[in-house]
Chain A
Amino acid sequence: MRALAADLTGAGHIASARGLVKVYGKGETAVRALDGVDVDFARGELTAIMGPSGSGKSTLMHCMAGLDTPTSGTVLVGGEDVGRMNQRALTKLRRTRLGFVFQAFNLIPTLTAEENITLPLDIARASVDREWFDLVVDAVGLRDRLDHRPNELSGGQQQRVACARALVSRPAVVFADEPTGNLDSRSSGEVLGFLRRSVDDLAQSVVMVTHDPTAASYAHRVLFLADGRLVGELEAPTPETVLEALRAYSPAGRPAGQHAAQVRA
């Protein structure tokens, strides 16, 4: 298993998929959300996944993160075959090797910011590495907010707490699903800036699904999906190059970013 993983991913890849297919429904109503995707996510990079609604970008991330089971194909995360894991192993994987940031509802309302951040460690009954914790908390700039409940925090602060929570267990990879989808541009900038810094300064790996070209421009690399296939990628993106690429890759030639964002593929 390990040997195969090494073979498939190579040293530089933190997560990979080969021949990934996800079909929803059966018979005539079947939808191929993913139609044979081969992808590698690099260690120590912030990767953005873009694409119009229904392109399969969220499905790809869910399959990579073990939240959804692919119909066929292989998913490797941190050298482990996610597709072959049972629920118990997946749960363990999620709490030890993965970090999550969702678009909304990221925090448990009854816990303080600090308790929310250490939640994965508490669940795993692991001790908190205070040094790392301090590093992460200072990076998100929430030192003075640790005792607050989520409803006492602004939307941007809540997302930053979620980012800190995702990083606190030093996961192999952080998956972020539209992390700035509900935020204004200033808060978005803070969150994205932090995600980028966590890669550059803290040597983490982040995969982010987004429809926002500005958000995508924070990434090292942008992958473009359309109709369940990987249609292109862009290194060192800027908002302009991303918009351009989106126009080129979307079927009707209109920017996907202006489409209703909350519909999931």
Chain B
Amino acid sequence: MKKLITTIQILSILLVLVSCGKDNYDAPASQLRGYATYNGQPIGVRGSNQSVYLQLWQDGYPLKTPINVYLTQDGSFAAQLFDGTYKLVSTNGNGPWVSKQDTIIVQISGNTSMDYPVTPYYVLQNIQYQLDNDVLRASFDIIGVEESRGVEYVSLMVNDTKFVDFGQQTGRIENRDVDGNHIVLELNVGSQLQTSKALFARVGLKINGITEGIYDPNTVQIK
């Protein structure tokens, strides 16, 4: 009898030790990285608030739910995935670029790097910031790429964190009558310089009819 109990005990311990493992997946190990680019240059977007995203879809499963891949403000994105074939798409009217229905097939095996080319309505070039005492001056050129949408306004913003955009800022100036392609914006940042421990600046361009704008891919620390 005692022998039997011992045997049962050993058997059940063995069972506990071996039984798991078959039905568990490994965690996704491959990383997809890239930028939303135009002519190879990354596009600056709003990085806070889960504002701009791409979507990954995978065929072959009965239920379909996209994986949202959020862009940070320098235009980069990253996702941790299983190996396999995915489709990368943007959603209409989400990013500051012409919505297109083309699907990009992404083959993931191990860490993969892949850019997502887009056609922005405008690009900002020759962006320069200059701090003159309390006055922050920014200048840049607007290059129209696909001018089917007008410019709602251009704006210079500052914030006390590295995230600077239309929603996250402690000071901004905007110009709604954009005339010509060379833009100069001046913002008095005297009070922000006094109260903030650090200050970051960025310019952005808001396009008509789209929630998101195009930004400088970099923020510049001015304090």
Q: Do A and B bind each other?
A: no
